[in-house]
Structure formats: structure tokens, C-alpha cells
Structure 1
Amino acid sequence: MQPGSNKIDAALLGKIVLARFLELPLRRFDRFVARVESCDGFSALAPWVAAARIKGAQVATGTADIAPHPVALSLGEVREAGGRLEFVYHREAFAREYLFDEAGLHRLRSRQALPQELARILHRLRLINSRNRLTHALMQALLEAQAPYLRSGEPMSLVPLTQVQMSERLRAQPGLSVVADAGRISRLVRELTIRLPNAKTIPLIGLFPRPRQVHCYFVDYVIKKEKTWIAEGVLEGPLSDEAIAEILAREYGLHLLRRTVADIRHHLAIPDCRRRRHRMNYLTATEGFSPLVPLTPQTLRTVVPAHPGVYEIRAAAATYTESHPLEKNALAPEPHGVVYIGSAGDLRKRLGDHLRGNSGNALLYRYIVEGAARVRFRVLSDGWRWVERELYRVFCETFGAPPLCNRMSP
């Protein structure tokens, strides 16, 4: 505010306008750029203003280059080419830059030959420049700072990074014509999303994790892995907070106090090891199952009875072949190896259908045909469908996802 006046200082007003402009959602920003470039005033400025693209920026050339997304428009996507990461914008407007003949515009102003409407358009063009230049500088810095995470999509690869640290990094760059303070970065990234090479869309603000957030990812990962380790027989029971801290230090070089692990676990709403031990898990749910046997015609004839029951099929990692094009993008089984849970009124017949590829589950047959599939089962006189549903539920609770080849819950 100017002393003795209710008027806002022009410099302060400019900062407020830019701050609000940085917060514009992408679709509104895209429409804003389109409206400015389609108005008559923009055409009238052609002798002094040229529309260009920010140096080094890449833009998707067509809709075929942009993976469909049902919810919101993304700023762009991270791609890997020639061993290096690059960012490709999803709209030309997001990489737009306007080049001004400053000397010519100065002469117009000095002769008072610049209409007010054209001056307003120039102001809008400079706002677009400020936003896009800051965005581009930010994305290039993030490609470098968070490269391991952007390549893998694994949250544990994130590097703790604050917006203040990013501001300091950007300010050290020569040639950046816009002030990159932490407040502006915060306003800019608040609503933006980007797409990773694995096609996952993430909020841009997620690339600024605090150390505590990264620690949460590690603790959560180890506790989820303990379920697999128990199923494999590596562990006899859930890990204590002290044991989790030891694993993090030994395997990842992350040194956390036991009470820090406990605090993070409480934050994640994960019970302690005693309470986790008492929870019904997949290992206890499959008590009474037969030993694992190869899923072969001979096994079906000699081991598997023609009685009702539930069964579990495990498989080693499968490889893609041209004879099975539908499964080109199939995922490798998890370490526990379970790819399918089912039930049948005749176990021998049903497993025979799976073995011959007559069960209507092409993905399951893809794993079985590799020749390394194994099966275990439990004979039940009745209620096998209910037991299958319960087994499926406990599996999902234990491992966080259904078996790869169960296309729907039973």
C-alpha cells in the first residue's frame, strides 16, 4: 500500500496477480492461452510479438502420443530416451513462450501509440511467459533431483526435497527470468499432475516429500513384505519395531530409532507385532492344505481326488512368446508365487481343465503352460465356495492384492 493512500503499490499488485495466475488449473490455463492468441489484439501485435516454444521444451505431437486419462488433464509425461529422462508437455500452451521486440514496444509507448487494450494483452502474454518459464525450469530440475523415482515409480526411491531447496536450486540457474521463490513454486505445483513412464499419474507436489514421508514408505514396505516372508517360511512371525529398524539400517542404510518406527507405524494405522500375530493371515488360512505338487496329468491321476474342495495354483515367472499374444503384458508372479485361488465340486476335473486350457482363463493357462506350475488343495465335503471366498479375502488382506489370475472375486 502507498503511504496515505488506499491504492496498492503497482509492484505488489503485479506479484498478487502472478501468484493467482500460477494457481490456474491446467484446463483454464489452456483456454486462457487460446483466448489470448485468438483475439484481434494479438494479431495486431504481430510486428512486435512472436509466438514460440520454450527452448528445449518438447510437446506431444498428437492425441496418439498422449495416454488417455479419464479424470484430469496432466501437465505432461516423463519419458526415457537414450538413457536420459525427458519431459513431454501435453499441450502446446504449456510450453508457449512469446518473444518481444522490446525496442519497438518502447517506441510505441514513448509515442503513446500503444492502445490500452493492446497493453492488457501484452501483460497477459508476460504472465504466460512467467508461468511457463518457471514450470519448465522446475520440471528440468525435478527430472534431475528425483530421477530414480521417476524411472522406477517406487516411492522408496524418492529423495527428501523441500520447495525452499528447489527455490535455491532454481535461483542458482543463470538466465531464469522469473523469480523462483518457494511461495510461487508452492502455488504452481498445488494442482498439477504428471504421468510417469509406467503410465501412473501423480500429483507434482508428491515430488517434494519430507524425510518423514520417505521413512513412512520404507516402514510400510517392510511390514508388507513380512507377510510374504512368513508365507515363504523366512520369518516365524511379524517383525518387532526393533527388527524393522535393523532391516532398514542393514538393507537400505536408513537409520531410524525403534520409537521412530513405532511412531510411523501408528501414523500408518498398523498394529504392533503382537496384534499382527493374532490376525488371521493367509498362512494360517491354508492350514490343512495338501503339500505342493506339480500340476501335471500324472499328478491329477494319482494325487488329486475327484472330490469337492478348494485349491491354490502357484507358478514361476512366465516369459512372453508369440503364441500367447494376449499375455504380452502379464506381470510376473509375486515372491509367494500364488497366481490363482479357486474351488470346484470335482478338483481333478477342474484342475484338468486348467491344465488343458479349457477353463476360459487364458492368463492362468499362460503360466501353467510354462511347465513349472504347482498346486495344493484341501478336500471339503460341502461349503467349498464359501471357503474359497474366505480364502480369497484373507489373501487380499495379507498381500494387498488378489492373485494375478483371479479376474474377479469369487
Structure 2
Amino acid sequence: MQHHNNKIDAALLGKIVLARFLELPLRAFDRLVTQTEFSTGFTAMRPWVTVSQLEGAQVAHDAADTHQTGTPQTQASPILGEIHETSQGLMFLYHRDSYAREYRFDEEGVNHLMSRPDFPVERAGVLRRLRLINTRNRLTHALMQAVLASQAAYLRSGQALALLPLTQAEISARLRTESNLSVVADPGRISRLVRVLSIALPNGKAVPLGGLFPKPRQVHCHFVDHVIKREKTWMLEGVLREPLTDEAIAAILEREYGIRLLRRTVANIRHDLAIPDCRSRSQRMNYLAATEGFSALVPLTPQALRTAIPAQPGVYEIRAALGLPMGEAKAGWLEKSAPPGPHSIVYIGSSGDLRKRLGDHLRGNSDNVLLHNHLADGAARVRFRLVSEGWRRAERDLYRVFCETFGTPPLCNRMSP
């Protein structure tokens, strides 16, 4: 009878153990560090082990007491740390001491201890865990420094359009050539690590670390989605008469962002994003349809109130010029195909007397300070539709359609009507 040798090679077993250790969630990792440092085996090894912090790593000032104080920290945050902007550039602050922990060994003394036949198994296990913690933290720190350098624009702004294509294979190659890591930073290890880590941007938004390694296709998705979302605003402002075709989207991407995509690539991305084609989108321009029959835009000024706004019931829409005048914005867009300067719908309302209500807004007597601030520069414009009966219902319907079309209420509408 043949007996098969089922023993796993020690080197292979070590790789498997490390791979699983890299996949530990942050809270489980922090708990393991705490338990290890409070174990009797660790206490016995202290003469040969120095507890320190990774070189160049910083921990947030509001972190709980360190493990070295003898008191366990409070429950670990699921966020690795936060990015801060300093005069020297971007800086990463770890949320826990355990995430920046590093152990330094008296290797000669440790080797002598381990060579003794009576060396306790428990202490050998502690040493293995300490080396695993070192490996994970060193790889994490090197990875964060590479991300800070590679995705600085996105980390500062939080805008998806600022993300650069960056694969884990590229980061792996960079870490192998540019860092002094004692562990091999292969793509598989990086993949296991980033899938369990999240960080906080300067604006407080938490993002998964894996999201900072987008493939080119993912970056292109952000840009196509951005252009199609802007399409609604351009149509509302009269810059476009109908939704953009895939060819037009590809042309804007190349002209404005230097991204060259085929028409069919845009179509495939649009399909992946569950965005209908231009014909279907044309049928979905709900707000444009809902404002059919509105008057032309008129300046929201005392003179226009007297001459152009009737003292009758109706529903109205106020636009505040937040950038260039509309004419200049449209002219600039026609020249460069860039989005026009923001000229936004900031308020939707209704009244039994349009002239009186709009006059109250203009004078600041409508108890809406935010709206009055937007009207103060005299550049606001208004359009309206007379509604003899049910003007409040008409306002509610228009407000609802606006929210459905643009995904958010007008800036100065403090509550739904």
C-alpha cells in the first residue's frame, strides 16, 4: 500500500498564512494585536522585542490610549485612517496605534531562545504573530504612501473625474522597485489587503481603498456618466435641443478631457451604467415637459415686477446666476463645447399673487435668507405659468418632477411644498 505525503511545504504554508492574515478585517486585526501584546508570552519576550512605530507613520491625535499604557483601547474604527492636507502636501493619519505598530527584534537573542529544546510553543506562536503584524503594517504603509503620490488630485477633491487609471499590478511593480519592503508586494497580496481597508478623505467621506485602483474602463465610466448628467442642465439652459448621441459624447470627451473612445465603446459603457440611448432619454426629459407653457425668462427686478409679472395666481421658477451671464456662458460653450457657467434653478414656488410673492422674495420679506442672498446681486431671472385654480398642486407636481429629473431639490427650497 502506498502512503501519500500530505505535508505542505513550509514556504507554501507561510504564504497561505500570510494571505489569510492580510484579509483580516481591521477590527479583527486590532483585536489580535491587543490580545498578543497582553499575552503572557509577549510579556516574557519583552527583553528581546521593542515595540515601536513604523518610520514616517503618524497616528491621529484623538486616538485612544496606546496598548503600551496597560489599558486596552476602545473598539477599533473600521477606517484605516484619514488624509489631511498640510503645507508639505498630503499626510495620512492612522486611526489606531495597532495599524502603525512595528516590532523590532534582538535577532541574535531570539534565535538563541528558539534553538533551545525547551522553548515554549506559546512564545514561538507570539513571535510568528508579531512578524505577521510587521509584514501587514509595512505593506499597508508602503501602499498608502504610493496611493498618496499617485491619486493626489482625487484624494484632495473627492471628485471621481480626478481618479487616474491605476492597477494593482502597476502599484506592485512600483513598490518592488522604489521601496525597501522586506516582503514581496505582489498583486495578489495587495488585492487581499485593499479589499478590507477603507480610508477617510479630507472632506470626511469614507472610500474603500480598492476604489483607488480603477482600471481605464472604470475611469471612462465616470466621464461618460458625468457628461450625460450635465446633458440635462444643458438642455434646460437651452444649450442643447436634444440629448447627446454617443458620437457627440465621444467628441466632447476627446475635446475637453483628451479621452479617445469609439462610439460603440461609449454605447457599451452607457449600457453598463444602465443609461438609455438618446432617443429614450429624450422621452425622459420630464422637467422640460413639465415647464411647457412657461413664460420667457425675465429679470427679477422691481421694474420687471411692475411690467412683466401679473398679479395673478400661478407657479414660478427662479434662476440665480452663479457664474457667467447666460449669454456669455452659451457663447463660450459653443466655442469650446465646455459646460456653460452655472446658472441654476434655485427655487420653485407658487402664489395667488405672483407679483406680490416675487416682490417679497426680492425685498427679503419671504423668510428665506438663502434665497434672498442669491437674489441680492440683481442677476436672478424668473419665469412663470399662470394657473387659475390648483396652483399649490401645480407647485407640488413641478417640485416632484424636478427632484425626479435632477435627483435633488432646488437649492433654496427648504422643504417640499
TM-score using structure 2 length: 0.86
Conservation of the 8 A alpha-carbon contact between 1:49 and 1:98: yes
In structure 2, the residue matched to 1:40 is 40
Deviation at 1:134, TM superposition (A): 0.6
- Amino acid aligned to 1:382: E
Deviation at 1:356, TM superposition (A): 4.1
- Select the residue among 385, 392, 396 that pairs with 1:389: 396
Distance 1:347 1:63 in 2: 56
Cα distance, 1:25–1:358 mapped onto 2, change above 3 Å: farther
Distance 1:356 1:146 in 2: 47
In structure 2, the residue matched to 1:378 is 385
- Select the residue among 90, 96, 101 that pairs with 2:101: 96
Deviation at 1:141, TM superposition (A): 0.7
In structure 2, the residue matched to 1:344 is 351
In structure 2, the residue matched to 1:242 is 247
In structure 1, the residue matched to 2:17 is 17
Deviation at 1:276, TM superposition (A): 1.6
1:223-242 correspondence runs (5 A)? 223-242=228-247
- Select the residue among 262, 265, 282 that pairs with 1:257: 262
Conservation of the 8 A alpha-carbon contact between 2:322 and 2:343: no
In structure 2, the residue matched to 1:202 is 207
Distance 1:203 1:379 in 2: 50
Distance 1:383 1:287 in 2: 17
1:35-114 correspondence runs (5 A)? 35-62=35-62, 73-82=78-87, 84-112=89-117, 114=119
In structure 2, the residue matched to 1:328 is none
Conservation of the 8 A alpha-carbon contact between 2:320 and 2:343: no
1:164-203 correspondence runs (5 A)? 164-203=169-208
Identity %: 68
Deviation at 1:254, TM superposition (A): 0.9
Deviation at 1:334, TM superposition (A): 7.8
- Amino acid aligned to 2:129: R
2:220 match: secondary structure: helix
Distance 1:7 1:77 in 2: 44
In structure 2, the residue matched to 1:327 is none
How many residue pairs end up in the alignment?
Answer: 388
Q: For residues 290-314 of structure 1, give each alpha carbon's deviation from its aligned partner in whole angstroms, at most 9, with x where no partner exists.
A: 3333434454455433432212122
In structure 1, the residue matched to 2:144 is 139
- Amino acid aligned to 2:412: C
Conservation of the 8 A alpha-carbon contact between 2:165 and 2:214: yes
Distance 2:351 2:144 in 1: 54
Conservation of the 8 A alpha-carbon contact between 2:319 and 2:380: yes
Deviation at 1:48, TM superposition (A): 1.1
- Select the residue among 370, 373, 387 that pairs with 1:366: 373
- Select the residue among 355, 360, 368 that pairs with 2:362: 355
Cα distance, 1:39–1:72 mapped onto 2, change above 3 Å: closer
2:300 counterpart of 1:295: yes
Distance 2:312 2:38 in 1: 74
Distance 1:126 1:359 in 2: 67
Distance 1:72 1:382 in 2: 56
- Amino acid aligned to 2:148: L
- Select the residue among 398, 403, 409 that pairs with 2:410: 403
Deviation at 1:109, TM superposition (A): 1.9
Greater Cα shift, 77-86 or 239-248? 77-86
1:253-292 correspondence runs (5 A)? 253-292=258-297
Cα distance, 1:270–1:343 mapped onto 2, change above 3 Å: same
Deviation at 1:180, TM superposition (A): 0.9
Deviation at 1:101, TM superposition (A): 1.1
Could you list the runs of 5+ residues in structure 1 that have no partner in the other structure?
A: 65-70, 319-332
Greater than 6 Å deviation, 4+ residue runs:
none
Distance 1:55 1:395 in 2: 53
Distance 1:348 1:32 in 2: 69
Conservation of the 8 A alpha-carbon contact between 1:280 and 1:394: no
Deviation at 1:97, TM superposition (A): 0.9
Q: For residues 274-293 of structure 1, give each alpha carbon's deviation from its aligned partner in whole angstroms, at most 9, with x where no partner exists.
A: 22222233233223223333
Distance 1:225 1:239 in 2: 10
Conservation of the 8 A alpha-carbon contact between 1:265 and 1:271: yes
TM-score using structure 1 length: 0.87
Deviation at 1:205, TM superposition (A): 0.8
- Amino acid aligned to 1:60: A
Cα distance, 1:281–1:288 mapped onto 2, change above 3 Å: same
Deviation at 1:213, TM superposition (A): 1.0
- Amino acid aligned to 1:283: L
Distance 1:225 1:258 in 2: 19
In structure 1, the residue matched to 2:8 is 8
Give me the CA root mean square deviation: 2.5
Distance 1:310 1:95 in 2: 59
Distance 2:285 2:259 in 1: 31
Deviation at 1:188, TM superposition (A): 0.6
Conservation of the 8 A alpha-carbon contact between 1:231 and 1:336: no
